[in-house]
Amino acid sequence: MSSKKTPESATPKGEGIPIPEKHVLGFGQRIRAYFFAGILVIAPISITFYLAWLFIGFVDSKITPLLPAKYNPETYLPFGVPGLGLLILFLSLIFVGALTAGFMGRMWLRFSEQMLARMPVIRSIYSALKQILETVLADHSAAFREAVLVEYPRRGIWAIGFITGRTQGEVQNTTEEECINIFLPTTPNPTSGFLLFVPKKDLVPLSMSVEEAIKMVISGGLVTPPDRRPSEEKMVPLTSAHTYEEVDIIRENDRAPVLAPKGSRPGEKKAPKST
């Protein structure tokens, strides 16, 4: 009997593994691939320009009608000037900022704040908004500019959070460890979330930017930023977590001598012996 031999073109010399044939896409599959590739290229650009156009049109519709007719360029031109209202708003903010930097501007600002402080409901809204804007827009502030990894809602589960500042006041004085204010956003709406006061030693800093971390939160993990750290750092884990660990029992010694009975933890459970 003659045994069939594998052709030399299909099997390389010295190897017994055949070379897989190259898969060729059909006409319909190519059209489909090109169609989705076109969507991936056009959709983000189109949506971005569309949202920008809506924003510019909204600002123009609110500010341009406030201009006197003799100062409005649209009075003398047969067409509208897009972005005119946005430009006027930008120049107005610069002008107001320059006025408040002077002596009279500071006096007017102090008088306005004193008037708002006497209004029962408005003073709470004004003080909260002012503190948030000062924290976010201040040049020396590091709020929302660093992404960290924190164990939440329990040990062994990790979540992405953002540093909003150093814990101060009564909260810091009550806790023994140095704590950091962490904003933990929700998915897919990052504007809502939780405020956590986490010990500084329990935070794991991330090398990804805040924008990349926000994209990861909004997409629910579908958009994962690449790890740009050196190769030697990628191979070394920074931390590890255990759902049940001895330190938790030590922390609760004063109130609960044993959090989890010995032998009942997931890592200690054993299958019953067969009789």
Rounding to the nearest 10 degrees, give the CA dihedral for residues 119, 120, 122, 124.
130
Average pLDDT over all residues of the chain: 77
Residue the block writes with tokens 């930097």: 101
Q: How far is CA 202 from CA 196, 221, 238, 250, in A?
A: 12, 23, 11, 17
Q: In what order do the strands lie in the sheet with 179-185?
A: 193-199, 179-185, 158-166, 147-151, 204-205
* Chain segment 118-164, per-residue pLDDT in tens: 888 888 888 878 777 766 665 544 557 789 999 888 777 899 999 98
Q: Facing residues of 148 across strands?
A: 161, 205
Given a contact cutoff of 8 angstroms between Cβ atoms, the answer to whether 268 and 262 are in contact is yes
Q: Please state which of the ranges 41-45, 64-68, 129-133 shows the lowest mean pLDDT.
A: 129-133
pLDDT score of 123: 83
> Which pLDDT band holds residue 50 (cuts at 50, 70, 90)?
very high
Q: First-to-last CA distance in the chain?
A: 57
Selected residue with higher pLDDT from 14 and 203: 203
> Which pLDDT band holds residue 240 (cuts at 50, 70, 90)?
low
Q: pTM (2 decimals)?
A: 0.51
> Per-residue pLDDT for 187 more than 70?
yes
> Per-residue pLDDT for 182 more than 90?
yes
> Per-residue pLDDT for 272 more than 50?
no
Given a contact cutoff of 8 angstroms between Cβ atoms, the answer to whether 190 and 183 are in contact is no
Cβ count near 85 (within 10 Å): 21
* Chain segment 67-85, per-residue pLDDT in tens: 888 888 877 888 778 888 8
* Domain segments of the chain as ranges: 102-137, 147-226
> Per-residue pLDDT for 243 more than 50?
no
* Chain segment 87-119, per-residue pLDDT in tens: 888 998 888 888 887 788 888 888 888 888 888
- What is the rounded average pLDDT of the residues 4-14? 49
How far is residue 76's CA from residue 66's CA, in Å, rounded to a whole number?
Answer: 16
